[in-house]
Amino acid sequence: MALARISRNWRRSPGTGAINHNRPNKETPFYNTPDPTSNSKTAGKILYTQSLTNVDHMNFDGKGTQAIQGYRFAHAERVTNFPDSKTDSNSGYASLEATKPGDKPRVVVLGTGWAACRFLKGLDTTIYDVVCISPRNHMVFTPLLASTCVGTLEFRSVAEPVGRVQSALASDPNSYFYLATCTNIDTEKHEVYCETVSENGQPYEPHRFKVAYDKLVIASGSEPLTFGIKGVKEHAYFLREVSQAQQIRKKLLLNLMLSETPGVSEEEKERMLHCVVIGGGPTGVEFSGELSDFIVRDVCQRYAHVKNYVRVTLIEANEILSSFDVGLRQYAKKHLSKYGVRLVRGVVKEVHPKKLILSDGSVVPYGLLVWSTGVGPSDFVKSMDLPKSPGGRIGIDEWLRVPSVEDVFALGDCAGFLEQTGKQVLPALAQVAEREGKFLVELFNKRIGKQNAGKACSAKDIDLGDPFVYKHLGSMASVGRYKALVDLTQSQGPTGVSMAGFTSWIIWRSAYLTRVLSWRNRFYVAINWATTLVFGRDNTRIG
């Protein structure tokens, strides 16, 4: 480590504090300053203006010149008064300029979910340069996210850094990852407008910039559905991100520890240790199963003073696991009820800080409320002036193109087939997003790239081959206590397998272990499972 630090310090250029001699021959993209009248130095490197002030490369929190957040930082003059991103005037944005003749086509990807990462992983970077823009720098393996809330798995086991998904984002001179959110898209100019992500409480505004694209892939995902119910966003926890799973774990362990404090009333203990899950889909059922398993195996041993107060209630408006076979649904109900999960059929009317009210007037006190009632279009998707499919997603054709504009594709939870295609909007499932990502990357590599149609406005009349066809592979869900459900009847028809129990649990774990993106995380998951089996779950509350 000491030798490495000495070596890095030796390579620093004198007086600047920036390491710039290890790759002297690789060009970096042009970042223009907003002032169109200023003179520029165009030496094939970063384009600076004469009005640009000196930059402290090692201090990105100071005032003055700021840097775009990403794996590599290109410097641009900070502008204090930004125009509205939805207006035609975008002179206040630093920019990653359009590609030039002779350059590789640039593919801009919005998002790091299942669809985006499957596309990024397979994209041929000898044909394309790639820019990924997302408010998170990792992909979440969502089927195992519920296990992290109770300590069955560590959080890093389900997070795959995007730089490992596509190494070009970390190493190629003209490929980048930017930690930012897209605020607007100009499909005529082939530009996306973004602002960087910053932690709450920072003393400065987010930095804004724009990126020119040859091809744009929108895979920005979706948002949890709250149905406009008052108090959900303020008081409920969602389970879609690693940070949300961390918050659930902290709240759960905090309630367990505080309930043992002297002077806490019986009524307050019952409320604090009442965990309520809204939504009987796979996520809600799997979280309820993990929670009941945690209570039976670990809480009763480590929180003996309050073990009799801990309860789990699963509230669903209709049938739990409605997409599964009837027999599997009945099995899940019996198993969950056997291990202490109370199943309630009802509709939430209003949510308060310590209680929720059902439509029939029932009052349900809670200490932890997890909301898992499905997903819908995000505000970003709703705001875009693009055709919409039934349900409000971005409308696409059979080749995942947005037909009203050129060079724009959409996939994953944010996209759905237009009515004129004659296809139904596919469910917001990980396997749907992954299959769409696989289809689109083959389209880019084998069709668009091979026909030299990667540049902007050059793919009008090319042969795209067969359209996308989705075939459901089956459904699986864990219900806790070494039991799971496997339903292959939808994919194989009458000959499909429908089974539940310990064997299904082995199949469930084996299937998801093979689907984890990298060998690094497969190793983490396997070790976590083995550690939990031998020593139980960790109950340390950090943060």
Judged against a pLDDT cut of 90, whether residue 52 lies above it is answered with no
Q: Does 443 lie in the same domain as 321?
A: no
Cα 199 to Cα 196, 206, 215, 221, 346, distances in angstroms: 10, 10, 30, 21, 38
Judged against a pLDDT cut of 70, whether residue 472 lies above it is answered with yes
The predicted structure's pLDDT at residue 173: 93
pLDDT confidence bin for 87, thresholds 50/70/90: very low
Q: Does 339 lie in the same domain as 317?
A: yes
Indicate the DSSP class of residue 297. I
Alpha-carbon gap, residue 7 to 1, rounded angstroms? 10
Q: Can you say how many angstroms the Cα of residue 129 is from the centroid of all Cα atoms in its chain? A: 22
Q: Is there a contact between 426 and 433 (Cβ–Cβ < 8 Å)?
A: no
Q: Does 349 lie in the same domain as 396?
A: no
Judged against a pLDDT cut of 90, whether residue 27 lies above it is answered with no
Beta strands in 299-354 (DSSP E): 311-316, 341-345, 348-351
The predicted structure's pLDDT at residue 495: 65
Q: What average pLDDT does range 111-130 have in this prediction?
A: 96
Q: DSSP of 351-410, one letter per residue?
A: E-SSEEEETTS-EEE-SEEEE-S-EE--HHHHHS-S-B-TTSPEEE-TTSB-TTSSSEEE
Q: Does 254 lie in the same domain as 217?
A: no
Cα 427 to Cα 119, 268, 419, 424, 471, distances in angstroms: 19, 40, 15, 9, 12
47 is a domain residue? no
Q: Does 426 lie in the same domain as 408?
A: yes
The predicted structure's pLDDT at residue 491: 65
| Helix runs in 259-321, H state only | 266-272, 282-294, 300-302
Residue 543 CA neighbour count, 13 Å, CB half: 8
Instruction: State the Cα angle at 365 between 362 and 367, rounded to 5°.
Output: 155
Q: What average pLDDT does range 6-21 have in this prediction?
A: 42
- Residue-wise pLDDT tens digits, 386-439: 999 999 999 999 999 999 899 999 999 999 999 999 999 999 999 999 999 999
Burial of 458 (0-12, 13-18, 19+ CB in 10 A): middle
The predicted structure's pLDDT at residue 496: 72
Cα 543 to Cα 199, 249, 452, distances in angstroms: 16, 11, 52
Q: Does 399 lie in the same domain as 362?
A: no
The predicted structure's pLDDT at residue 134: 97
Count of domains in the chain?
A: 2
Alpha-carbon gap, residue 410 to 381, rounded angstroms? 11
61 is a domain residue? no
Looking at the DSSP bridge assignments, the partners of residue 19 are 12
Q: Does 211 lie in the same domain as 262?
A: no
pLDDT confidence bin for 538, thresholds 50/70/90: confident
Domain of residue 525, residue span: 237-373+473-535
Judged against a pLDDT cut of 60, whether residue 76 lies above it is answered with no
Alpha-carbon gap, residue 276 to 373, rounded angstroms? 13
Q: Does 208 lie in the same domain as 241?
A: no
Q: Does 271 lie in the same domain as 290?
A: yes
- Residue-wise pLDDT tens digits, 323-340: 899 999 999 999 999 999
Residue 2 or residue 406, greater confidence: 406
Indicate the DSSP class of residue 385. -
28 is a domain residue? no
Q: Who contacts 281 (Cβ-Cβ below 8 Å, separation ≥6)?
A: 320, 321, 322, 372, 373, 374
The predicted structure's pLDDT at residue 206: 81
- Of the given ranges (175-189, 214-228, 297-311, 341-355), which has the lowest mean pLDDT? 297-311
Residue 245, domain CATH: 3.50.50.100
113 is a domain residue? yes
Q: Does 356 lie in the same domain as 245?
A: yes
The predicted structure's pLDDT at residue 542: 83
Q: What percent of the chain has pLDDT over 90?
A: 73
Indicate the DSSP class of residue 463. -
Helix 282-294 × helix 326-338 angle, to 10°: 30
60 is a domain residue? no
The predicted structure's pLDDT at residue 48: 34
123 is a domain residue? yes
The predicted structure's pLDDT at residue 11: 45
Residue where a domain terminates, one of 420, 451, 482:
451
The predicted structure's pLDDT at residue 71: 37
- CA end-to-end distance (rounded Å), the chain: 29
Q: Does 287 lie in the same domain as 248?
A: yes
516 is a domain residue? yes
Q: Does 249 lie in the same domain as 212?
A: no
Q: DSSP of 497-528, one letter per residue?
A: -EEEEHHHHHHHHHHHHHHSSSHHHHHHHHHH
Tokens of 376: 């819908």
Give me the chain's average pLDDT, please.
84
354 is a domain residue? yes
Task: Give percent helix, percent strand, percent coil of the chain, each to the nearest 5.
Answer: 30, 20, 45
Q: Is there a contact between 445 and 439 (Cβ–Cβ < 8 Å)?
A: no
CA proximity to 471, closest of 459, 488, 485 = 488
Residue where a domain terminates, one of 451, 482, 515:
451
Q: What average pLDDT does range 294-319 have in this prediction?
A: 92
